[in-house]
Amino acid sequence: MTTFKPARLNYLQIILLLTLLQLAVTLLTDGFALSFDESMWHYIGRNWFRNGLVPYSGGVDNKSPLIFAVFGFSDMAFGVNYWFPRVLGTLCQTISILYIYKIAKHIAGEQAGVLAISFFGLSLLWHGTGGRYVAFTEPTRYYL
């Protein structure tokens, strides 16, 4: 009689799985279009890169100019699209998951690191405000 041994995933496999889940939900939901906030950031970024209209020259916002630059670059490189900023946001999230693993592992060991990235990675997939499944570009704003 053989005994059942559950498969053990290492932290890189968990990070890859969380990244693929994030990409799937981010790119395949929300109607393949820009959200309200994303469309505003895209509009400001496009006007900055195409017409030289610098952000904050007549108003105030609580966002870094980098978020507008990301959307402006996205417009110049790929035209009007929703996927480039979301993929960049997912990349930033993946990097943060890796660092959370390293910090938790250093402080409390490997099991704590795996538990920390599981909680953090799954919480990124669920964004309760407004019924959203994920936070599309908010991580870009925080990490850039």
In tens, the pLDDT along 55-86 reads: 888 777 788 899 999 999 999 999 988 889 98
Domain residues of the chain, as ranges? Answer: 8-31+82-144, 34-81
89 touches 140 (CB < 8 A)? yes
Confidence grade of residue 128 (pLDDT, cut at 50, 70, 90): very low
Q: What is the mean pLDDT of residues 113-131?
A: 75
Q: What is the mean pLDDT of residues 118-126?
A: 84
For 98, residues 6+ apart whose C-beta sits below 8 A from its C-beta are 15
Confidence grade of residue 132 (pLDDT, cut at 50, 70, 90): low
55 touches 48 (CB < 8 A)? yes
